[in-house]
Amino acid sequence: MVKKETVRLMSEKKRNSPLLHIATPFIVLALCTGITAAALIKPYDKLKMYLNIAFMDTLKSEPGGDASGLVIKDNKIIEDYSGKTSSTGEVIRPKFGELFAMLKSEAFDVDVPVYWGSGSELLELGACQSTGSAVPGTEGNAVISAHVDTFFSGLDKLDIGDKITLSTNYGEFTYIVKELIEFKATNGKYVLPTEDTRLTLYTCKKDILGGSDQRFGVICELTESSFYTEAGGDAQ
Amino acid sequence: MKGSNIAGAIAGAALACGIAAVIPLAAKAATPDEAAAVARSYGYSEEDIQRAYNEYEQNPELYPPEKIDEYIDKLHEAHQKQVSVVPQQTNVVIPALTTTTAAPAAQQGQEPESPVTPAPVDDDSITLTASDGSTLTRISREKFIALSYEDKLAYLSTFTEAQQQAIIDDLSPAENRSLLKQLPTDKKVEVIDKISEITSDMGMTITVEELSDDNVKIAMKNDKGELLNVSEAGASVEKTGYDRRGILTFCGGLFITALAGIAFVMRKCFGKEGNGEANE
């Protein structure tokens, strides 16, 4: 009986130990911080994406650029053109860092700006088209990529037959998804120029650690070209 | 994509300047298509050729035919840095090409056989005629591509200089591409320097943003320092994912530390009490 009482008193003494009173809050804090930080990764990416789009003008680099020389030019892209169109016409070739198109698809709920050029800075602002690919409206392979965590987070929802539209200030181009593709980052066969006219969209395969070596995307066939023929179609 | 690295970076800048075809001893008004054909023959990737076309179409006034002729010369000079005639050597052994056979037992009084120059034995060997009239047989293109850069040069050195030039002139685009891929860093610098001469009189500068044996990234800027184009070897495919390893490691570390702390607290509070009760 006495021994039992002694044991009870000893354990009660341990529970009241100052070390436990000090350590416990820090342990709980560490646990909560770890869980919260991991849970906020995806929402943070989404928030950053929406902030970039919402405050596009404010967050852009001023002409003259930063140390890398990148000059980001923000253009207002025509989205409600109602004039005459033609299936043939001249393209307006964009400069590096220039916003030259809007990519839309209801199939994966996307309406993102497309920049001409590549690099981490431009990928933060929207989708990027490789300068080694064909300008939309010309023959060849137009290759556009974007971050899987932001602008192309729904790219995996695309299926064969889905419609994608590229709106530029010289015309609107409609594509239909023809093929779903998957490839390694070291295998660039899908980003090479082609003789047929197509649109290739790709992004990283989702990976919990990020920075996956695998890419996935779609190859789309051009179904309609509508070049703007009337003055006033240029909103630059 | 290592090959595309140097090919992409160099070709992107070089071809963006409208480098065209043919070796002109006299002035010849070359066209962008001719330039592209020569670039392809030197192993430059289609992506970089497309990049060059885009640059040309955007600023055609900067690339008149006469200028393209000059640029072609520079392109040929740059190719010389990639591969050129080397002094002929004898008794060269290239393990990747040598057929392994059991050496015959040396008989008394006879000296053992010395290493011999590897001779092409496959059916895909290619027969060429050199400028001096001599005929040579070289290994297949697939075998040449498979050799390391050093072995490629060693293989060339087994021929006379005239024969080496015949081989160099006969290299396929794929073989040239493999040479570009494998160029050591110092050679890449030489090629980039040569290409930079093309753009200097146009008010453009080429800067090397990243340079290693595995990757080359060059940027082309105008006289105001504004970025005109970027060509990154091996990076035709963009990095479209965020690297989460850092933040996840941090979160995981916190989580594990917290669990360890909880385990410690639980043991302190309840561990010996349980033993004490069991002993009663």
Whether residue A65 is predicted with pLDDT greater than 60 in this model: the reply is no
Phi, psi torsion values for A107, nearest 5 degrees: -65, -40
Per-domain boundaries in chain A: 2-49, 71-228
Residues 153-182 of A with CB under 8 A from B: none
Q: How far is B58 from chain A (nearest CA, A)?
A: 6
Whether residue B157 is predicted with pLDDT greater than 80 in this model: the reply is yes
A209 touches chain B (CB under 8 A): yes
Outline where B83-135 has alpha helix (H): none
* Angle at alpha carbon of residue A103, lines to A101 and A108, rounded to 5°: 170
Token pair 């300047």 in the structure block, residue? B17
Task: Classify A42 as helix, strand or coil.
Answer: helix
Interface touch A134/B50, C-beta < 8 Å: yes
Residue of A91, A133, A111 lying closest to A226 (CA atoms)? A91
Q: How far is A84 from chain B (nearest CA, A)?
A: 26
Count chain A–chain B contacts defined by CB atoms under 8 A.
190
Residue partners of A226: CB distance under 8 A and separation at least 6: A85, A86, A87, A171, A172, A173, A174
Residues 26-65 of B with CB under 8 A from A: 45-51, 54, 57-58
Quick one: closest CA in A to B209, which residue? A68
Query: Which of A24, A130, A212 to mutate against chain B (most B CBs within 10 Å)?
Result: A130
Residue of A187, A198, A166 lying closest to A102 (CA atoms)? A166
Q: What is the DSSP letter of A236?
A: -
Q: Count CB neighbours of B68 within 10 A.
A: 25
Whether residue B59 is predicted with pLDDT greater than 90 in this model: the reply is no
Separation of alpha carbons A116 and A98, rounded Å:
6
A132-155 pLDDT per residue, tens: 999 999 999 999 999 988 899 999
Q: Give the pLDDT confidence score for residue B93 in this predicted structure.
A: 83
Whether residue B279 is predicted with pLDDT greater than 70 in this model: the reply is no
What are the residues facing B46 on neighbouring strands?
none
Q: Which residues of B touch A35 (CB under 8 A)?
A: 251, 255
Whether residue B2 is predicted with pLDDT greater than 50 in this model: the reply is no
Helix (H) / strand (E) element for A141: namely strand A141-145
Q: What is the dihedral of CA B55, B59, B62, B67, to 10 degrees?
A: 50
Q: Which of A11-20, A103-112, A115-124, B83-92 has the lowest mean pLDDT?
A: A11-20
Residue partners of A191: CB distance under 8 A and separation at least 6: A130, A132, A133, A141, A143, A200, A202, B47, B236, B237
b vs e for A115-142, b when ≥16 Cβ sit within 10 Å of the residue's Cβ? bbbbbebbbebbbbbbbbbbbbbeebbb
Fill in the amino acid letter for B10.
I
Whether residue A83 is predicted with pLDDT greater than 80 in this model: the reply is yes
Compare CB distances from B258 to A27, A96, A208 and report the shortest one's residue: A27
Q: Give the pLDDT confidence score for residue B277 in this predicted structure.
A: 45
Please compute the mean of the pLDDT values over residues A45-73 and round it to a whole number: 64
B96-141 pLDDT per residue, tens: 887 544 344 444 444 444 444 444 455 689 999 999 999 999 999 9
Separation of alpha carbons B83 and B156, rounded Å:
10
Single pTM value for the model: 0.74
Interface touch B255/A30, C-beta < 8 Å: yes
Q: Give the tokens for residue B169.
A: 């002139």
B246 touches chain A (CB under 8 A): no
Please compute the mean of the pLDDT values over residues B237-261 and round it to a whole number: 78
Separation of alpha carbons B187 and B149, rounded Å:
11
Residues 225-244 of B with CB under 8 A from A: 225-232, 234-244
Whether residue A19 is predicted with pLDDT greater than 80 in this model: the reply is no
* Angle at alpha carbon of residue B130, lines to B38 and B169, rounded to 5°: 15
Separation of alpha carbons A169 and A235, rounded Å:
7
CATH code that applies to domain A71-228: 2.40.260.10
Separation of alpha carbons A122 and A115, rounded Å:
7
Q: How far is B252 from chain A (nearest CA, A)?
A: 7
Whether residue B234 is predicted with pLDDT greater than 70 in this model: the reply is no
Q: What is the DSSP string of A202-235?
A: EEEPP-TTB--SEEEEEEEEEEEEEEE-STT---
Q: How many residues does chain B have?
A: 280
B3 and B178 Cβ atoms separated by less than 8 Å: yes
Q: Which residues of B touch A217 (CB under 8 A)?
A: none
Whether residue B171 is predicted with pLDDT greater than 70 in this model: the reply is yes
What share of chain B has pLDDT > 90, as a percent?
19
Residue of A77, A62, A66 lying closest to A119 (CA atoms)? A66
Per-domain boundaries in chain B: 2-83+181-232, 90-98+113-170, 244-280
Q: How far is B29 from chain A (nearest CA, A)?
A: 25
Token pair 């385990």 in the structure block, residue? B263
Interface touch A10/B273, C-beta < 8 Å: yes
Interface touch A15/B269, C-beta < 8 Å: yes
Compare CB distances from A96 to B227, B240, B252 and report the shortest one's residue: B227
Interface touch A95/B228, C-beta < 8 Å: yes
Residue of B207, B218, B166, B197 lying closest to B19 (CA atoms)? B197
Separation of alpha carbons B60 and B126, rounded Å:
41
* Angle at alpha carbon of residue B128, lines to B127 and B131, rounded to 5°: 160
Residues 102-131 of B with CB under 8 A from A: none
Q: Which residues of A touch B248 (CB under 8 A)?
A: 38, 208-209
Q: How far is A209 from chain B (nearest CA, A)?
A: 5
What is the ipTM score, two decimals?
0.73
